[in-house]
A and B are shown apart, each in its own frame.
Chain A
Amino acid sequence: MSASLEKGINALKEQVDSSVAAFFSSCVHCGMCADACLFYTETGDPSRMPINKAEPLRRIWRAEYTLLGRVGKMFGMTAKVDDKLLSEWETLVYDSCTLCGRCSMVCPVGNDIALLIRKTREGMAAAGHAPAGLIGATKRSVTIGSPMGVKLPALMAQISHVEKDTGMKIPVDVEGAEYMLLLSSMEIMNFPEFIEAIAKIFDKAGASWTISSEAFEATNSGIQIGVADIAKVLVQRVVDAAEKLKVKTVISPECGHAYMAIRWEGPNLVGKPFGFKVRHILEILDEFRQDGRLKISGKEDQRITYHDPCQISRRGGVIDQPRNLINMFSDNFVEMPDAGKMNWCCGAGGGVSSNERADEIRLKVFQRKKDQLDEIKPDAIVSACSNCRIHLEDGLEEYNMDIPLMSLTETLAEHLAD
């Protein structure tokens, strides 16, 4: 079976629920979401106003679930959803939205606009209007196990490098461990130091942990492309592995959407509560700090700022923890304007970075991040999302800015007291 408009429309019909109806009914067309979206502020293009991106879903809601829309439909007066509309909207829904959720924060009537766009993606993907890059990543996630095509042998190779460098044993498939660590492909391939940092910190903190050889991938392309059926398959792998290893807590690594996918969408996708807890790595580290299990030596005096990854800070509520942790090793922490829950997205989340077609626009909208950084001129940026990190590096290079980027977990590990 292949994608079709009919399937897309059916998917959109399925997505309409009481929240969708309430949100569309309460929209007062004030346009405040426009100024909250970096894809609008940096391009000035009104079609990129957040609520407009959910237009295909709005049309289905109106035509199928409202009285006026139904009557209008009989006389051909209600706007339709067709392939032309969906192909026009493809770049708006996928290339010009990172699902960062800043629009949902400013909406005066409380509409979760990011949710509406996320739901719109369900129809777009089922109708065959997802970008090629995301389709590729999704296929690799399901068939190979990772969107970047990372297979277990590649992970094992990185693990043996780390073991060689540190002389520590990296636990794999250890049954009964307290924590099961997930990793993003980005970390496995580009930042294996993350695994090393975790090993050191957990060793000092005296916590037992493991990596599962069956479900080590944290990212979830099904969420990004907008296919709940696929997202469910990917979440189920983690659930199965966690249950098999009988761990108490699954740790989502430094990756934004992975955290949202497993913690917030996960139980809804598999349709039952998890038998284990899900925490972000920063939450675990801050727990260690509170319990006095983290000993730090030496403080840095360079100006350090923290880039809040949208899905971790704004959508995840993990805002105080990174600041508590940074203050352990820094004397000179500075906040960007709009830091915390209203931070501006890097511009490449929500599947934008997997979509080559969006390369130009994601670098264009990086101007917003540049403006934020220009105001405080930090010596270094710390963040907790590998995807943010890769894109921030791209953006800094594009705009000829020379600011080093650091992972919070890795930096913390470097400052561990011996």
Chain B
Amino acid sequence: MTDRINNKDKSPADLVQLEKSRLDKTLGETLRSQGISRRSFLKFCAATASMMAMSPAMIPKIAHALENARRPSVIWLSFQECTGCTESLTRAHASTVESLIFDSISLDYHHTLQAAAGHAAEEAREIAMEENYGKYLLVVDGSIPMDNPGYSTIAGISNYDMLMDTAKGAAAIIAVGTCATYGGIPHADPNPTGAVSVGDLIKDKPIINVPGCPPIPVVITGVLTHFLTFGSIPELDHIGRPKVFYGQSIHDRCYRRPFYDKGLFAETFDDEGAKKGWCLYKLGCKGPTTYNACATAKWNDGTSFPIEAGHPCIGCSEPDFWDGGGFYKALSMPTANITETAIYTAAGAAAAGVALGAMNRSKKNSAAAAHSDTTIDDLEK
């Protein structure tokens, strides 16, 4: 990426040509030319293998695969989003091997990061698509407005048209962030733009959902590494998330879990329990229903994660997390205002009960009225 920025003065055609020459190099060669030692490269491979719950025997395999991988072309499309996902990816681990890996993929189109603008930018996308048809990776962040295409356009092309056009030649699609994976905040009630997710629109391509608001950077690079190493997509859960990162709930891996098990809860943000680091369940923590790697991978280079900072998990990697009835309401509390519903239901049920009771009583009374004494002469037919 730094390369690209330094190449601001070059024309789009020159840039593509430069990329082509770089594509001939393997990833290993590129890394070495960037001054990355083999030792730190293997460290990255080992960390990735353990992150993804692979056996140590897989480390050489990952190293070998990465070293020899041709740098794939990646097209990154941003739709209705806040750029937080890109921020997460590019800023958090600024100087790690992961970011260099990213340098070493051929990021041919990215609204925020690319040097080119206007027609040149779109041309770069078209050229990349043509050159690598059927092989490039498509990364999407942001949701797609279906209500009025004018809500979000790029170079006069609606998000929907651009997505469908670019998806055609993609080998696989990685939906990054909760907006792209499940509609996210644009999709939240009342969903004014008619926002939908990538998976709602594309059914004929492998899609890897990497939700989170934003997703953990190492999870994004982990998924990319998996794709580069094995040439396939990792095992996914029922809503398309890689199981290695989203297989366990925050709650199950939370370091505050022992307090939950003991029934020790912080009741407010400044009480004794909060100071002692007790469970945040009663303050609305969505950890029990949220599947993500925050509690293990953590954020900011493994420094911390929201619960460790004293704030309940808001469940950002789950569909419709924005409509969960309030971030500070305990999971056990109803999401809607039920008092009125309960009163009307009870009144309705009571009225129905009285009516049914009256009907039943009259039925029984008429049965009693129809009763004729049974005598011994009435026992046989």
Nearest CB in chain A to that of B352: its residue: A67
Residue A394, interface by CB 8 Å: no
In the complex, chain A residues 1-42 whose Cβ is within 8 Å of any chain B Cβ: 1-4, 7, 10-11, 13-14, 16-17
Given contacts A13-B364, A67-B356, contact A2 B377 (CB under 8 A): yes
Report the minimal beta-carbon distance from B364 to chain A, rounded to whole angstroms.
Answer: 7
Given A64-B363, A65-B360, A1 and B378 touching (CB < 8 A)? yes
Chain A residues contacting B337 (CB-CB under 8 Å) are none
- B368 and A139 contacting across the interface, CB-CB below 8 Å: no
Judged by a CB distance under 8 angstroms, whether B367 is at the interface is: yes
State which of B356, B373, B381 has its C-beta within 8 Å of the C-beta of A2: B381
Say whether A227 contacts B379, CB under 8 Å: yes
Q: B276 at the A/B interface (Cβ < 8 Å)?
A: no
B379 to chain A, nearest CB (A): 5
Taken together as a complex, chains A and B put the C-alpha atoms of A41 and B356 apart, in Å, by 40
- The answer to whether A16 and B364 touch across the interface, beta carbons within 8 angstroms, is yes
The residues of B that contact A3 with a CB separation of less than 8 Å are: 378-381
Q: A260 at the A/B interface (Cβ < 8 Å)?
A: no
Footprint of B on A, CB under 8 Å?
1-4, 7, 10-11, 13-14, 16-17, 64-65, 67, 125-126, 128, 130, 135, 138-139, 142-143, 225, 227, 229-230
C-alpha gap A2/B377 in the complex (Å) = 7
B339 CB within 8 Å of chain A: no
Is residue B342 contacting chain A, with contact meaning CB distance below 8 A?
no
Complex contact B364–A2 (CB within 8 A)? no
Which residues does B use to contact A, with CB under 8 Å?
352, 356, 360, 363-364, 367-368, 370-381
Give complex CA distance A227, B373 in Å: 9
Choose among A14, A64, A67, A135 the residue that contacts B379 (Cβ–Cβ < 8 A).
A135
Contact A10 B371, beta carbon cutoff 8 Å: yes
B381 contacts across to A, CB distance below 8 A = 2-4, 128
A10 touches B376 (CB 8 A): no
Interfacial chain B residues near A126, Cβ < 8 Å: 374, 378
C-alpha spacing A405/B352, complex, angstroms: 59
For the complex, give the distance between the alpha carbons of A227 and B380 in Å.
13
**Is A13 within 8 A of B363, CB to CB?**
yes
Write 5 A-B pairs (CB below 8 A) sorted by A numbering: A3-B380, A13-B363, A13-B364, A125-B379, A128-B379
Cβ-defined contact, B376 with A139, below 8 A: yes
Note all chain A residues with C-beta closer than 8 A to B364: 13-14, 16-17
Contacts of A130 in B (CB 8 A): 379
Contacting pair A1 B376 (CB below 8 A): no
The residue of chain A having its C-beta at the shortest distance from the C-beta of B368 within the complex is A14
B378 and A138 contacting across the interface, CB-CB below 8 Å: no
Q: In the complex, what residue of chain B is closest to A17 when comparing beta carbons?
A: B364
Known A-B contacts A13-B363, A64-B363; A143 and B356 likewise in contact (beta carbons under 8 Å): no
Chain A residue at minimal CB-CB distance from B366 = A13
Closest-CB distance, B376 to chain A (whole angstroms): 5
CB distance from A40 to the nearest CB of B (A): 28
User: Which B residues lie within 8 Å of A1 (CB)?
Assistant: 372, 377-378
By beta carbon, the residue of chain B nearest A5 is B381
Residue numbers in A under 8 Å from B363 (CB-CB): 13, 64-65
What's the least CB distance linking B367 to chain A, in Å?
4
Residues of A within 8 A of B375 (CB): 142, 229-230
Cβ-defined partner of A10 (8 Å) among B367, B378, B379, B380? B367
- Cα-based distance from A82 to B367 in the complex (angstroms): 17
In angstroms, Cα B380 to Cα A225, docked, is 12
Partner of B376, one of A16, A128, A230: A230
In the complex, what distance in Å separates the CA atom of A16 from the CA atom of B363?
10
Contact between chains at B373 and A128 (CB < 8 Å): no
List chain A residues, Cβ under 8 A from B368.
Answer: 14
CA distance A67 to B374 in the complex (A): 30
The smallest C-beta distance from B155 to any residue of chain A, in angstroms, reads 60
Residue of B nearest to A60 (CB): B367
Residues of B within 8 A of A64 (CB): 360, 363
Chain B nearest CB, measured from A404 CB (Å):
38
The 3 closest A-B CB pairs, nearest first, are A13-B367, A128-B381, A14-B367
Asked if residues B380 and A2 are in contact (CB atoms below 8 Å), the reply is yes
Q: How far is the CA of A339 from the CA of B142 in the complex (A)?
A: 75
- Residues of chain B lying within 8 A (CB to CB) of residue A65: 360, 363
Q: A7-B372, A7-B378 are in contact. List 8 more A-B contacts (CB 8 A).
A: A4-B381, A7-B374, A10-B370, A16-B364, A64-B360, A126-B378, A130-B379, A229-B374
Distance in angstroms from A70 CB to nearest chain B CB is 9
Q: How far is the CA of A22 from the CA of B331 in the complex (A)?
A: 34
Distance A65 CA – B358 CA, assembled complex (angstroms): 11
Set of chain A residues within 8 Å of B360, measured between Cβ atoms: 16, 64-65
Which among B360, B373, B376, B377 has the greatest number of chain A C-beta atoms within 10 A? B376
A225 to B379, Cβ gap below 8 A? yes
| Smallest Cβ-Cβ distance to A64: which chain B residue | B363
Interface centre among A11, A14, A17 (most CB of B within 10 A): A14
A10 proximity list for chain B (CB < 8 A): 367, 370-371
Closest Cβ of chain B: how far from A91's Cβ, in Å? 17
* Complex: chain A residue closest to B355, CB-CB: A67
